[in-house]
Amino acid sequence: MPRLAADRDIGFHALMEQIDFTYNKPEISRELSNIRQIIVSNNGSVLDEATFSSTALMYFIAQTNILVPNLSTLTIETRPEYVDIAELEFISRALREGYTPTDLEIAIGLEAYDNRIRNKVFKKGLALAVVEQLAEKLARYNFRLKCYFMQKPVSGMTDKEAFEDVCNAIDYFGKLAARFGVKVNMHLNPTYVATGSSLEEAFRNGQYQPPYLRDVARAVMHARGKNLSVCVGLNDEGLAVPGGSFLRDGDEDLVKCLDAFNATQDFHLLEAQKEKEMEKC
């Protein structure tokens, strides 16, 4: 969000101080040996040297190697065009110097497979050819690719169209993973109506309803047998307007099921839950 971003350049000294501040917080410092994954995000692109200093990134990795001995995955959020081979080479070498093997995961936000929604509505300016170039780069180092998606992210989109958009994305990334030999994870966020968002007016006018969690689970089932993993976002962060969450009364068992699926990728859990819901009908 623009109002959350700085209106001036933030130098590497300030970024390094933020890194130290975070690692020195008591609730974090006492859990350092238990941390398995760290996600680095800055409301933009961490690999964009203009907004996140390379010196600060080097410092972060060095401190992480020292302080987080059991880290298994480092996830860096960025736009694909800021990922270059020289930087990947450096990060690869640095992570190998940690106490334990650590996978690098580059996370990008596509939000929708549909080109019109992605680039005309969200103005992402992101062609699939650029994603494929990124996958090719990551494959050189056996790094992983995470892609953030939203189910039913815009008004005027039917539940059926939203379901099909996710299925199309699953098909695409399954083929991408096989083509380049790169591990792909889809992080699928059901859309909620956030206060002050462009969806709020449409929701209040009866022109938009968030997706049903059962439709999200059905879309996830499409990934069975495909060459990718799927994680479903299950938190509206308390930001949804009243009645504007994808979480509805009666969804409690499905939420538990999807939470378990996120941890196991066991499609039998989704099948069993579907059978339970059919028995209720």
Nearest to 134 by CA among 94, 170, 176: 176
Task: Give which of 77, 79, 81, 168 is closest to 116, Cα–Cα.
Answer: 168
Instruction: Fill in the amino acid letter for 156.
Output: G
Domain that holds residue 96: 7-101
Q: Which residues contact 209 (CB under 8 A, 6 or more apart)?
A: 203
Task: Among 81, 101, 121, give the residue marking a domain's end.
Answer: 101
Residues 184 and 234 in one domain: yes
Structure tokens at 75: 């996830």
Lay out the sheet containing 229-232: strands in order across: 37-40, 73-77, 103-111, 144-151, 184-190, 229-232
SS3 at position 104:
strand
| HSE-CB of 31 using CA atoms within 13 angstroms | 9
Instruction: Please indicate, yes or no, whether residues 253 and 192 belong to a single structural domain of this protein.
Output: yes
Q: Is 133 a domain residue?
A: yes
Whether 168 is in a domain gets the answer yes
Among candidate residues 84, 101, 118, the one where a domain is terminated? 101
Query: What is the C-alpha R_g of the chain?
Result: 20
Predicted local distance difference test score (pLDDT) of residue 99:
92
95 shares its domain with 136:
no
Tokens coding 91:
């990060």
Please check whether residues 272 and 166 belong to one and the same domain. Answer: yes
Based on the domain organization, do 125 and 152 belong to the same domain?
yes
Q: Are residue 164 and residue 281 in the same domain, yes or no?
A: yes
Task: For the chain, 281 residues long, give each residue's pLDDT as a single digit of tens.
Answer: 344 566 677 889 999 999 999 999 999 999 999 999 999 998 779 999 888 999 999 999 999 999 999 999 999 999 999 999 999 999 999 999 999 989 999 999 999 999 999 999 999 999 999 999 999 999 999 999 999 999 999 999 999 999 999 999 999 999 999 999 999 999 999 999 999 898 999 999 999 999 999 999 999 999 999 999 999 999 998 899 999 999 999 999 999 999 999 999 999 999 999 988 887 76
Nearest to 12 by CA among 68, 69, 51: 51
Number of residues that this document lists for the chain: 281
* Residue 115 pLDDT: 96
Q: Of 67, 82, 101, which marks where a domain is finished? A: 101
Specify the number of domains making up the chain.
2
Within this chain, do residues 210 and 80 fall inside the same structural domain, yes or no? no
pTM as predicted? 0.91
CA torsion, points 173, 174, 178, 184, in degrees to nearest 10? 60
Looking at the domain assignment, is residue 23 inside a domain?
yes
In a domain, 1, yes or no: no
One domain for residues 97 and 114: no
User: Does residue 199 lie within any of the structural domains?
Assistant: yes
- Residue 59 forms part of a structural domain: yes
- Whether residues 255 and 124 share a domain: the answer is yes
DSSP calls for 182-214: --EEEEEEE---BTTSHHHHHHHTTS--PPPHH
Does residue 154 sit in the same domain as residue 237?
yes
Whether residue 280 sits in one domain with residue 200 = yes
User: Is the CB of residue 187 less than 8 Å from the CB of residue 147?
Assistant: yes
- Asked if residue 261 and residue 133 are part of one domain, the reply reads yes
